[in-house]
Amino acid sequence: MDAIFLQFLNGLDKGGAYALIALGLTLVFGTLGVVNFAHGALFMLGAFCAVTVRKILTLEMIATDPEKVTAWGTPLEIRTPYVEAWFGDFGSFMVDYSVPFSILLAIPVMLVIGIVMERGLIKHFYRRPHAEQILVTFGLAIVLQEIIKHYFGANPIPQPMPSVVGGAADIGAAMGMDPNVIVYPWWRLIYFAFSVVVIGAVFAFLQFTTFGMVVRAGMADRETVGLIGIDIDKRFTAMFGLAAVVAGMAGVMYTPLLPPDYHLGMDFLVLSFVVVVVGGMGSLPGAVAAGFLLGILQSLASMTEIKAIIPGIDQIIIYLVAVIILLVRPRGLLGRRGVMES
Amino acid sequence: MNALFSMSRKDVITFVLFAAVVLLMPIWLQPFGAAYPDLMQKFAIFGILAIGFNVLFGLTGYLSFGHAAFLGVGSYTAVWTFKLFSMNPIPALILAVVISGIFALAIGFVSLRRSGIYFSILTLAFAQMSYNLAYSVLTPITNGETGLQLTLDDPRIVDSAFGGVNDGSLPVSNLFGLVDMSGISGFYFCAVFLIIGFFITQRIFASPFGMMLRAIKSNQTRMNYTGFNTRPYTLTAFVISGMFAGLAGGLMAVTDPLAGAERMQWTASGEIVLMTILGGVGTLIGPVVGAWLIKYFENIFSSFNESVLHNLFSFLPDNVESFVVSVTSMFVGEGWHLTLGLIFVLVVTFLPGGMMEGFRRIGSLFNRDGGDKAKPDEPAPAPAPAE
């Protein structure tokens, strides 16, 4: 029982990442009608925002200490990051918290990337067949990841989490169970909470603001909204930017859990597409629900007890579920009628 | 039966030209520096793969993102046939085609229940499942990360029954002990299959079955309303193209008896799509041209490195040179995929019909009668990449 609960928890952070990416994918699809295979690359770009910020923050000032010498007789070098030299304690605090700080960079950067991408390329593909949309965004994803590979190399770059939350939380004890049975890394909890907050914020934005209302109206009937005299294209471009920001933030926060490398996006993209399809193309709640569901299912399937019964199930569970859902409930869990059924 | 062999005159000319171009590769590739056997084998194998994929995507419009799975299955089957029975490529290829056909039948039966993007995702899911399984649980069959290889103590029952000698070195596949399947003879072996494959697709394109598939592409609902059950047709197309992929996978194993799971990864499927798109979807020659171009440039570009670039741009002033080199080095060598991605984006955006459409547009510039006389089967003027 404890083991199951622990695996359930383990699924939450992964599920959170799937849900965030799938949310963005669905948002883009629901507004622009574009199947965006480059969305995983946006997740990856977000992760590399964190890498960049950390690189800048840890640029080191090298001073030599004339008093001491190393074993080789050269003066001892003292390396301190510039920010620490300039800001003292606040500087080291910034270095320690580089991942959360990166969100501040990631938001504007991803917004710009998203809008440029939409205006520069995606815009021309509104009325083209879905196959061509898939192909062009697939090509774009390759371009983006190769650029990252060129500048950051092919190896994963580990990002430390803030040291305060480096440990694990004894959740079992907090819930009145025996201590040290269910221990869970803090950062995973934070990631889960973060994804819930972001998802909540996106839904609130769509539900409770005028802008969101117009967007929802546009998703339902683009033409009519246009006839009222609203420039719906502009709002949809903004939604693409928003989706890019969500994916980017998801990427930033995921870096301590999984060292980012250039094909991180592709790995997540395939899964996120499966998530979107399982949740129902075009359904935002469906995408979120399916994200968490598949994340949890995946981590349950990787329990040794289950692997003993069906070997290899952890590798294929997500795809298997997708196949079954698509065959039994072709529109996905919460899909609407008439979406992508041509 | 007669109808099968009565080709229109244009088809005969196309076929003969194609066969000549393929068989004369060692000669006309000479000036491009691509006339060595390894690369030409790749040309032939990926040509087969691309025309097979085109039967599905080009004719029915179903975009499969999991075609690499069949390639992998073909390779594994062929290597296992080598290990268990004989180093003769013929049984290996037959088994590779049959097994990948059965595999395609199973996957197609399920995936073809849905169309559009759902179909793409389903095939992608199946391919990823095969890939993940090949890497993990199926290790006894696939040898996991190391890849399946020949070993000295393989049984090879047929070969040993006919007195095959075990001289302590790994055997190479050979045709009845006559011709080794490496080097130039390996290329001709693959080339023969490419030509046969081309002939088959040519027949499919011209047949009523091909018409049916095109009708499905243009409007499946209408087909259903007129009383056709489209499923058997799409399934047949799917199985045929899966068998082509299996044949290509088998040939890969024949020329180099090794099979690894990475052949099944979805990026490999993406590459197949890319070749077909670049050449021209739905045309006969296009996919082959696309496959050749990609393999050719992959070979050329990835061999470039900084020093080659420095030599190339040495006529420029020093600081300009280092700038130019640093920019171009992004696109060559390790960065070849960046170029590929860019080309891909540009082609899909501006030339959705691929190279073949490009040729046709250029052709119609010189043809006053107008470009409205679309000639989809027009042979490529020169499949060689322009230097």
CATH of the domain at A307: 1.10.3470
Residue A9: φ, ψ to 5°? -60, -45
pLDDT at B378: 45
pLDDT at A337: 65
pLDDT at B115: 80
The DSSP-derived string for A39-67 is HHHHHHHHHHHHHHHHHHHT-EEEEEEEE
Question: Tokens for B290?
Answer: 């696309």
pLDDT at A342: 45
A87 occurs within a structural domain: no
A66 occurs within a structural domain: no
A177 occurs within a structural domain: yes
Q: How many other CB atoms are found less than 10 A from the CB of residue A27?
A: 27
Q: Give how far A266 is from chain B: nearest CA, Å.
A: 9
- Best residue in A316, A317, A321 for a mutation probing chain B (most B CBs within 10 Å): A316
The residues, any chain, with a CB within 8 Å of residue A299's CB and separated by 6 or more, are A7, A8, A10, A11, A14
* Radius of gyration of chain A measured on its C-alpha atoms: 22
A88 occurs within a structural domain: no
**Residues in chain A with pLDDT values less than 50:** 342
DSSP one-letter code for A183: E
Q: Is B110 on the interface with A (CB under 8 A)?
A: yes
Q: Is A34 on the interface with B (CB under 8 A)?
A: no
Handedness of CA A52, A56, A57, A58 (dihedral sign): positive
The residues, any chain, with a CB within 8 Å of residue B179's CB and separated by 6 or more, are B185, B189
pLDDT at A339: 57
Which of A135, A274, A312 lies at the smallest CB-CB distance from B133? A312
Question: Tokens for B14?
Answer: 């196309």
A67 occurs within a structural domain: no
Chain A positions in Cβ-Cβ contact with residue B129 (cut-off 8 Å): 315-316, 319-320
A127 occurs within a structural domain: yes
A101 occurs within a structural domain: yes
pLDDT at B373: 46
A68 occurs within a structural domain: no
pLDDT at B163: 65
Q: Is A333 on the interface with B (CB under 8 A)?
A: no
The number of domains in chain A is 1
pLDDT 10s per residue in chain B (387 long)?
445 556 788 888 889 999 999 888 888 888 887 778 888 999 999 999 999 999 999 899 898 988 999 999 999 999 999 888 888 888 899 999 999 999 999 999 988 888 888 888 888 888 888 888 888 888 788 887 778 888 777 777 777 777 665 566 677 777 776 677 777 888 898 999 999 999 999 999 989 999 999 998 888 888 889 888 888 999 999 999 999 999 999 999 988 888 888 888 877 888 898 889 888 888 889 999 999 988 888 888 777 777 777 777 777 777 777 777 777 777 777 778 888 888 888 888 888 888 888 888 888 888 765 444 444 444 444 444 433
The residues, any chain, with a CB within 8 Å of residue A215's CB and separated by 6 or more, are A31, A206, A235, A236, A239
Report CB contact under 8 Å: B338, A142.
Answer: yes
pLDDT at B167: 61
pLDDT at A269: 82
The DSSP-derived string for B24-73 is THHHHTGGGT--SHHHHHHHHHHHHHHHHHHHHHHHH----S-THHHHHH
A282: left (phi over 0), alpha (psi -120 to 50) or beta: left
pLDDT at A172: 67
pLDDT at B244: 95
Write out the residue range of the structural domain in which residue A298 sits.
2-59+95-328
